[in-house]
Amino acid sequence: MAFDRRLLLHINWALLGLAVVLFLCGVLNLYSASGFRLEDGMSVAPYYRKQLLWGLLGMLGMVTFMVIDYRHLKTIAWPLFWITVALLVSIFFAGKTIYGARRWLDLGFMNFQPSELAKISVLVVGARILSREREKLDFLRLGYVLGVGLIPAGLVIRQPDLGSGLSILMLLGGMILFRGVTSRVFKTALVTIPCLLPLGWFFLHDYQKQRILTFLDPTKDPLGSGYHIIQSEIAIGSGRFWGKGFLEGTQSQLRFLPEKHTDFAVAVFGEEWGFVGTMILLALFCFFLYQMVVIARDARGLFGSYLAAGVFFYFFWQILINMGMVLGLMPVVGIPLPFISYGGSATLVNFCLVGLVLNVSMRRFLFK
Amino acid sequence: MSHLYDTDDKHPPKSGLVLLQTLILVLFCLFAMRLWYLQIHKGDEYARKARDNQLRKEFIFAPRGVIRDRSGDLLAVNEPAYALGLVREDCKDIDATLQQVSTWTGADFEELRDLYRKRRRRVKPFEPLILIPDLTFEQLALIEINKLRWPGLEVQVRPRRKYMYGKLLAHILGYVAEANEEEMARDQELALGDYVGKLGLELMLEDQLRGIKGLRQFEVDVNGRRLEDRILKHPRAGHEVSLAIDLGLQKLVMDWLRYEAGAVVVMDADTGQLWALASSPSYDSNDFSSGLTPEQWRKLRDDPMHPMQNRPIQSAYPPGSTFKHVVAGAGLQYGAMDPRETVYCSGSTTLGRHVFRCWKKWGHGRVDLERALVESCDVYFYKLGKKLGVDRMSEFGAAAGFGRPTGINLPHEKAGIMPTRQWKRRRFGEPWQGGDNYNMAIGQGYTLVTPLQMARFYAAMINGGKLMKPVLVKDESPVVQARLPLDGEQVGLLRKTLIETVRNARGTARRLRTRGVIVGGKTGTAQVVRLTDELKAMKDEDIPYKYRDHAWMAATAEKDGRRFAIVAMVEHGLHGGSGAGPVVKAAIDYLFTGKVRKKPQHLIDRALAAQKADGTLPKGDSNGI
What percent of chain B lies above the pLDDT cut of 70?
A: 91
- Using DSSP bridges, classify how beta strands A101-106 and A96-98 pair: parallel, antiparallel or unpaired: antiparallel
What was the pLDDT predicted at B606? 81
Lowest average pLDDT, out of B395-399, B437-441, B610-614, goes to B610-614
Nearest 5°: phi and psi at B282? -125, 180
* pLDDT band at residue A96 under the 50/70/90 scheme: low
pLDDT digits (tens, 9 = 90+) for B562-574: 999 999 999 887 7
Contacts (Cβ under 8 Å, ≥6 apart) of B530? none
Contact list, B123 vs chain A (CB under 8 Å):
none
* pLDDT band at residue B3 under the 50/70/90 scheme: very low
Nearest to A69 among B4, B36, B94 (CB): B4
Contacts (Cβ under 8 Å, ≥6 apart) of A98? A104, A111
Does A289 sit within 8 Å of B16, measured CB to CB?
no
* pLDDT band at residue A91 under the 50/70/90 scheme: confident
Distance between B124 CA and the closest CA of chain A, angstroms: 9
C-alpha distances in angstroms, B4 versus A11, A73, A297, A301? Answer: 20, 9, 19, 10
Residue B2: burial class (beta carbons within 10 Å; 0-12, 13-18, 19+): exposed
Distance between B53 CA and the closest CA of chain A, angstroms: 10
Averaged over B286-297, what is the pLDDT? Answer: 83
Q: How far apart are alpha carbons B280 and B20 in whole angstroms? A: 85
What percent of chain A lies above the pLDDT cut of 90?
A: 18
Q: Which of A176, A186, A240 to mutate to test the interface with B (most CBs of B within 10 A)?
A: A240
Nearest to B19 among A178, A290, A292 (CB): A178
Contacts (Cβ under 8 Å, ≥6 apart) of B187? B179, B196
Q: CA torsion angle for A284, A289, A290, A293 (degrees, to 10)?
A: 170
Lowest average pLDDT, out of A143-152, B193-202, B482-491, goes to A143-152
Nearest 5°: phi and psi at A142? -60, -45
Does A134 sit within 8 Å of B50, measured CB to CB?
no
Does A253 sit within 8 Å of B27, measured CB to CB?
no
Does A329 sit within 8 Å of B30, measured CB to CB?
yes
Nearest 5°: phi and psi at A134? -85, -40
What was the pLDDT predicted at B483? 95
Nearest to A323 among B7, B12, B31 (CB): B31
Does A278 sit within 8 Å of B39, measured CB to CB?
yes
Q: Which of B1, B2, B4, B229 to mutate to test the interface with A (most CBs of A within 10 A)?
A: B4
Please say if the pLDDT value at position A101 is more than 60: no
* pLDDT band at residue A256 under the 50/70/90 scheme: very low
For chain A, first and last CA: distance in Å? 12
Does B42 sit within 8 Å of A180, measured CB to CB?
no
Contact list, B23 vs chain A (CB under 8 Å):
289, 316
Nearest to A234 among B6, B24, B46 (CB): B46
Q: Which of A176, A238, A295 to mutate to test the interface with B (most CBs of B within 10 A)?
A: A238
Q: Residue B10 half-sphere exposure, CB side, CA atoms within 13 Å?
A: 18
Kindly provide the residue ranges of all beta strands, DSSP E only, lying in B281-380, ordered along the sequence: 343-345, 348-351, 354-357, 365-367
Does B32 sit within 8 Å of A279, measured CB to CB?
yes
Helix-strand-coil split of chain A, %, nearest 5: 70, 5, 30
Q: Is the peptide bond before B281 cis (omega within 30 degrees of 0)?
A: yes
Does A241 sit within 8 Å of B43, measured CB to CB?
yes
Comparing alpha-carbon positions, the chain B residue that sits nearest to A238 is: B47
How large is the C-alpha radius of gyration of chain A? 21
Kindly provide the residue ranges of all beta strands, DSSP E only, lying in B234-353, ordered along the sequence: 241-242, 262-268, 274-280, 343-345, 348-351
What percent of chain B lies above the pLDDT cut of 90?
A: 52
Comparing alpha-carbon positions, the chain B residue that sits nearest to A74 is: B4
What was the pLDDT predicted at A95? 57
Does B31 sit within 8 Å of A178, measured CB to CB?
no
- The residue among B393, B401, B395, B345 whose CA lies nearest residue B369 is B345
* pLDDT band at residue A279 under the 50/70/90 scheme: very high
Averaged over A67-77, what is the pLDDT? Answer: 85
Averaged over A333-338, what is the pLDDT? Answer: 83
Task: Tell me the pLDDT of chain B averaged across its residues.
Answer: 87
C-alpha distances in angstroms, B343 versus A30, B496, B507? Answer: 96, 20, 18
Nearest to B50 among A42, A234, A302 (CB): A234
Q: Furthest-apart CA pair in chain A: how many Å?
A: 66
SS3 of residue B557 by DSSP: strand
Return the axis-axis angle of helices B324-334 and B451-462, rounded to nearest 10°: 50
Please say if the pLDDT value at position B66 is more than 70: yes
Distance between A160 CA and the closest CA of chain B, angstroms: 23
Contact list, B215 vs chain A (CB under 8 Å):
223
Supply angle C-alpha B501, B604, B279, rounded to 5: 70
Size of chain A in residues: 368
Phi-psi region of B337 (alpha: psi -120 to 50; beta: other; left: phi over 0): beta
Sign of the dihedral through C-alpha B300, B306, B309, B310 = negative
Residue B624: burial class (beta carbons within 10 Å; 0-12, 13-18, 19+): middle
Does A302 sit within 8 Å of B28, measured CB to CB?
no
Does B3 sit within 8 Å of A320, measured CB to CB?
no
User: What residue spans of B272-335 are helical by DSSP H?
Assistant: 286-289, 294-302, 311-314, 324-334
Q: Cα B567 to chain center, whole Å?
A: 18
Q: How far apart are alpha carbons B421 and B436 in whole angstroms? A: 10
Does B45 sit within 8 Å of A223, measured CB to CB?
no
- The residue among B418, B425, B406, B415 whose CA lies nearest residue B446 is B418
Supply angle C-alpha B563, B456, B70, rounded to 5: 55
pLDDT digits (tens, 9 = 90+) for A181-227: 777 777 777 777 777 777 777 666 676 677 667 666 666 555 555 66
Contact by Cβ (8 Å): A274, B144:
no
Q: How far apart are alpha carbons B530 and B536 in whole angstroms? A: 10
Please say if the pLDDT value at position A266 is more than 50: yes
Q: How far apart are alpha carbons A234 and B601 in whole angstroms? A: 76
Kindly provide the residue ranges of all beta strands, DSSP E only, lying in B88-237, ordered along the sequence: 129-132, 153-163, 175-178, 195-199, 214-220, 226-233
Q: How far apart are alpha carbons A317 and A288 in whole angstroms? A: 14
Averaged over A152-157, what is the pLDDT? Answer: 84
Supply angle C-alpha B308, B311, B313, rounded to 5: 115
Comparing alpha-carbon positions, the chain B residue that sits nearest to A224 is: B57
Q: How far apart are alpha carbons B224 and A252 in whole angstroms? A: 13
- Using DSSP bridges, classify how beta strands B67-68 and B241-242 pair: parallel, antiparallel or unpaired: parallel
What was the pLDDT predicted at A46? 67
Residue A305: burial class (beta carbons within 10 Å; 0-12, 13-18, 19+): buried
| DSSP symbol at B527 | -
- Using DSSP bridges, classify how beta strands B74-86 and B153-163 pair: parallel, antiparallel or unpaired: antiparallel
What was the pLDDT predicted at A29? 84
Please say if the pLDDT value at position B411 is more than 90: yes
Could you please report the per-residue DSSP string of A83-125? HHHHHHHHHHHHPEEETTEEEEEE-SSSEE-HHHHHHHHHHHH
DSSP H helix total and E strand total for chain A: 12, 3
Distance between B97 CA and the closest CA of chain A, angstroms: 14
Nearest to B12 among A230, A286, A297 (CB): A297
Q: Cα A86 to chain center, whole Å?
A: 22
Contact by Cβ (8 Å): A15, A357:
yes
Nearest 5°: phi and psi at A43? -140, 155
Q: Cα B187 to chain center, whole Å?
A: 21
Q: How far apart are alpha carbons A236 and A249 in whole angstroms? A: 10
Contact list, B40 vs chain A (CB under 8 Å):
240-241, 275
Averaged over B474-489, what is the pLDDT? Answer: 94
Contact by Cβ (8 Å): A240, A275:
yes
Does A240 sit within 8 Å of B43, measured CB to CB?
yes
Q: How far apart are alpha carbons A293 and A15 in whole angstroms? A: 11
Nearest 5°: phi and psi at B564? -130, 150
Does A230 sit within 8 Å of B12, measured CB to CB?
no
Q: How far apart are alpha carbons A360 and A344 in whole angstroms? A: 25
Distance between B143 CA and the closest CA of chain A, angstroms: 25
Q: How far apart are alpha carbons A67 and A241 in whole angstroms? A: 43
What was the pLDDT predicted at A60? 92
Does A178 sit within 8 Å of B16, measured CB to CB?
yes
Averaged over A344-351, what is the pLDDT? Answer: 87
C-alpha distances in angstroms, A19 versus A51, A59, A359, B426? Answer: 14, 10, 15, 77
Contact list, B223 vs chain A (CB under 8 Å):
none
